[in-house]
Amino acid sequence: MKVEGSVKTVILGEIIFPILLLVFGIYHGLMQALYRAGIIKDMSFLGIEYYQGLTLHGVINAVVFTTMVIVAFGNAVFLYYLKKPLRPAVQWVSFLMMVIGTLMAAWAMFTGKANVLYTFYLPLVAHPAFYIGAALLLVGSIIPLFFDWAPNYIAWRKEHPGEKVPLAVFGVFVNHIMWVIMLVPVVITVVFQMIPLSLGITQEENVSLSRTLFWAFGHPLVYFWLLPAYTMLYTILPKIVTGDGKLYSDSAARFAFILFILFSFPVGLHHQFTEPAVTNNYKLIHALFTFGVAVPSMLTAFTVAASLEYSIKQKYPEVRDSLFYWWTKIPYISLEGDKWLVSYFMAGLFLFFVGGITGIVNASYNVNLVVHNTSFVPGHFHTTVGGLVTLSLLGISLYMVSKLMGKDIRFKGLAVLAPWLWWQGMLIFEYAMSVAGIHGFPRRTNAGLSYLNPESPLYRPEWVGYAELSAFAAFIIVLGFVFWAVSFFGTILSPKVREETLEFPTASALHDEKAPALNRLTPWFTVSVLLFVLSYLPALYDVTKRGVFFDSPGYNDKNPVPITKPQ
């Protein structure tokens, strides 16, 4: 379909702007890995210090890049599947808010006024520009939901009584409503705790409360990143794997999304198992719910595998009787049509398999105490958000840009190899970080200057090899990213060869049951919000027992965290 000019510009902007920043974010990933291995002694040529770089890396890669590309994908999905125009004014307001907000936060981070890491909970305090910038980015990202997607969704349902909304629209819509709900707690801590402390209006704040409110947002946030990838796995992957493949079950897909609505929220305390202020029992309840929220991912693993198996066996009768041999027919490296995208999804799925296992390790309360705050945790999330999620977003960005600009994908060979290099690099990175983590290698520490430096009294030789292995892995990942970037920017800069269009390959479902309960969102969201509130009331009571507004001064560049020097 054709897309109206200025809406197209916005969607392209929502892809290209964060990707320009991502180049810096990825560069900093490499710098960090080198620094942690003691290979470089200074963080970068730009004079950025360790925590500043870590903040930039986390915020750019995990917050800005993901959010903006997810909004671009959502806009494109709504346009293509509902065939209803988006309002240019709404789109521009949303886009400009996200860009201005990002630039404000970037200014604060680059000038060293916001070394608060991407999990910006107290007691670390940033310049107000960081918070206001973050708020603009987040509010900008929900504007399309209220003023474009929801009205179009409602109108479509009126025009198509009794029909199911297209699955991709269902996935994107559910995800964005969850996004709005999870923003509530983080907005409360930003507006009532962080900004007043940052402006000097208050002198101290309740840190446990801030952490609890942050993680009530911080965990569901990871599903805000994940569900767009799942939407692609359910709708695009089965179709392109053979050219005419099918999704095994539409209801299984919708059921998985609904389980995410229910279980994404009452789990945030699994980030706070070591939080002194909260009673153990409440943490255990969140740990159990966390096992619950792994179920829709397992369901997804089975539905995706079943879709691949069915589609491949339909196309290639010779593997019909095989148990595993059909795996060899998946076009892992194919230049034909849209099949190049398969490599992004498959490489991502292989990584996510590991991410799922390490996630369950993290979630297992007492086992968490072994890995918490060690490099095991970055190992886990570079195969989830840095694995399946990033690869899906990189793949779909290249796909959307080529369609919307009417251009052929340039350097397609590089584009197909890129995700496999990324996969290989991340797998080694994950191995090195996880094993080192089990040996106690900490995350978020100036490791290069202490634990890995033979002159330091803190020197730990058993971590050195793993840190060096992760630096080696970082080079492979960066090479993968360079391959992707050559193809991406090569495509953008190449001449237009076709009409500009927008379309997504979409698999129809083999089992396409009506299942009306799975298409009504209000009851599920009502139960979800109730569960969210109930699961958090006891913890909130615990952390505010001794008062709501007290506790600790904030730490920032003028009032740094007191650091104990090694003896």
Q: Which residues are catalytic?
A: 219, 223, 380-382, 443-444
Q: Among ligand HEM, ligand HAS, Cu ion, none, what binds residue 368 when CB lies within 5 to 8 Å by partner kind? A: ligand HAS
Among residues 6, 148, 66, the alpha carbon closest in space to that of 397 is found at 66
Comparison of 29 and 128: residue with beta carbon closer to ligand HEM: 29
Establish if 150 lies at the interface with ligand HAS (CB under 6 A). Answer: no
Structure tokens at 50: 């360790």
Instruction: Supply φ then ψ for residue 132, to 5 degrees.
Output: -65, -40
Helix, strand or coil for residue 427?
Answer: helix
Q: Which of 5, 6, 163, 353 binds ligand HAS (CB under 6 A)?
A: 353
Comparison of 7 and 167: residue with beta carbon closer to ligand HAS: 167
Is 238 in contact with 247 (CB distance < 8 Å)? yes
Q: From the CB of 560, what's the least distance to Cu ion, in Å?
A: 29
Kindly indicate which of the ranges 158-166, 171-179, 261-269, 382-390 contains the residues binding ligand HEM, using the contact rule CB under 6 A. 382-390
Cα separations in angstroms, 100 against 97, 139, 455? 5, 12, 45
Residues in the chain: 567
Kindly indicate which of the ranges 189-197, 379-387, 410-418, 491-499 contains the residues binding ligand HAS, using the contact rule CB under 6 A. 379-387
Structure tokens at 420: 């496999």
Establish if 298 lies at the interface with ligand HAS (CB under 6 A). Answer: yes
Amino acid making up residue 520: R
Q: From the CB of 119, what's the least distance to Cu ion, in Å?
A: 11
Q: DSSP labels for 127-184?
A: -HHHHHHHHHHHHHHHHHIIIIIHHHHHHHHHHSTTPPPPHHHHHHHHHHHHHHHHHH
Establish if 300 lies at the interface with ligand HAS (CB under 6 A). Answer: yes
Establish if 548 lies at the interface with ligand HAS (CB under 6 A). Answer: no
| CB-count exposure of residue 240 (10 Å: 0-12, 13-18, 19+) | buried
Torsion angle, CA of 173/174/179/184, rounded to 10 degrees?
Answer: 120
Q: Among ligand HAS, Cu ion, ligand HEM, none, what binds residue 113 when CB lies within 5 to 8 Å by partner kind? A: none
User: 544: how many CB neighbours lie within 10 A of its CB?
Assistant: 16
Q: Which of 378, 419, 448, 505 binds ligand HEM (CB under 6 A)?
A: 378
Is 421 in contact with 486 (CB distance < 8 Å)? no
Cα 17 to the chain's mean position, in Å? 17
Establish if 403 lies at the interface with ligand HEM (CB under 6 A). Answer: no
Task: Tell me the CA end-to-end span of the chain in Å, nearest whole number.
Answer: 67
Instruction: Supply φ then ψ for residue 451, to 5 degrees.
Output: -65, -30
Please report which helix (H) or strand (E) contains residue 398, including its range: helix 390-404
Kindly indicate which of the ranges 88-96, 100-108, 149-157, 381-389 contains the residues binding ligand HEM, using the contact rule CB under 6 A. 381-389
Q: From the CB of 155, what's the least distance to ligand HEM, in Å?
A: 35
Binding mask 411-450 for ligand HEM (x = CB under 6 A): --------------------------------xx------
Q: Among Cu ion, ligand HAS, ligand HEM, none, what binds residue 359 when CB lies within 5 to 8 Å by partner kind? A: ligand HAS
Per residue in 450-487, is it b (16+ CB within 10 Å) or e — as a string? bbbbeebeeebeebbebbbbbbebbebbbbbbebbbeb
Site for ligand HAS in 208-237 (CB under 6 A): 222, 225-226
Comparison of 219 and 443: residue with beta carbon closer to Cu ion: 219
Establish if 219 lies at the interface with Cu ion (CB under 5 A). Answer: yes
Q: Cis ω on the peptide bond leading into residue 505 (within 30° of 0)?
A: no
Establish if 211 lies at the interface with Cu ion (CB under 5 A). Answer: no
Sequence-distant (6+) residues with CB within 8 A of 252 are 299, 302, 303, 511
Q: Among ligand HEM, Cu ion, ligand HAS, none, what binds residue 382 when CB lies within 5 to 8 Å by partner kind? A: ligand HEM
User: 274: how many CB neighbours lie within 10 A of its CB?
Assistant: 11
Comparison of 59 and 82: residue with beta carbon closer to ligand HEM: 59
Comparison of 121 and 504: residue with beta carbon closer to ligand HEM: 121
Q: From the CB of 337, what's the least distance to Cu ion, in Å?
A: 37
Q: Which of 16, 96, 187, 301 binds ligand HAS (CB under 6 A)?
A: 301
Comparison of 219 and 412: residue with beta carbon closer to Cu ion: 219
Query: Which residues make up the interface to ligand HAS (CB under 6 A)?
Result: 119, 222, 225-226, 270-271, 290, 293-294, 297-298, 300-301, 304-305, 349-350, 352-353, 356, 359-360, 362-363, 368, 372, 377, 380-381, 384-385, 389
Query: Which residues make up the interface to ligand HEM (CB under 6 A)?
Result: 26, 29-30, 32-33, 36, 54, 57-58, 61-62, 117-118, 378, 382, 385-386, 390, 443-444, 474, 477-478
